[in-house]
């Protein structure tokens, strides 16, 4: 059974930083691409960033470019999201996701496996 567990969320002031982690069990993450999505209250889940299976290719939403960095450590079966210069509008539940294909995807439907989410709250 594949499980994805996020951690690292919390409350931070605007301008601060957080690093999210996503630990995967029941699956070798080098077998597929992974991504981060987020969902704010009353809004749909949206794409944040994605990384290919090898880690050589990444993609990110315009709203987080230059501030968020996605990475993965296949040896640790873990993916990360380093979030800098956080803004109140970054407040959301952040979800990690994995897919069977090697290339990164930016749509929710492209991912087969999902974590339960971790709350990130940015105060102004």
**pLDDT, tens digit, 9 for 90 and up, residues 42-69:** 999 999 999 999 999 999 999 999 999 9
**What confidence tier does 113 reach under pLDDT thresholds 50, 70, 90?**
very high
- Render the burial of 87-96: b for 16+ CB within 10 Å, e for the rest: eeebbbbbbb
- The whole-number pLDDT of residue 30 equals 82
Is the predicted pLDDT of residue 29 greater than 90, yes or no?
no
- The whole-number pLDDT of residue 71 equals 97
C-alpha to C-alpha distance for 11 and 58, rounded to whole angstroms: 27
Considering the chain, what is the average pLDDT of its residues?
96
Residue (of 79, 115, 82) closest to 97 by Cα position: 115
Is the predicted pLDDT of residue 28 greater than 90, yes or no?
no
Residue (of 69, 66, 91) closest to 19 by Cα position: 69
DSSP-based three-state secondary structure for 29: helix
Residue (of 114, 112, 86, 88) closest to 101 by Cα position: 112
For 90-110, the pLDDT digits (tens) are 999 999 999 999 999 999 999
């Amino acid at each position: 059974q594949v499980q994805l567990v996020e951690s690292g969320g919390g409350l931070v002031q605007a301008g601060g930083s957080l690093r999210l982690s996503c630990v995967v069990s029941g699956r070798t993450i080098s077998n597929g691409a992974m991504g981060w999505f987020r969902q704010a209250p009353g809004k749909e889940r949206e794409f944040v960033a994605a990384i290919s299976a090898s880690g050589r290719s990444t993609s990110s939403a315009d709203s987080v470019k230059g501030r968020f960095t996605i990475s993965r450590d296949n040896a640790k079966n873990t993916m990360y999201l380093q979030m800098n210069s956080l803004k109140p509008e970054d407040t959301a539940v952040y979800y990690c996701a994995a897919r069977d294909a090697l290339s990164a995807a930016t749509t929710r439907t492209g991912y087969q496996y999902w974590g339960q989410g971790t709350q990130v709250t940015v105060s102004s």
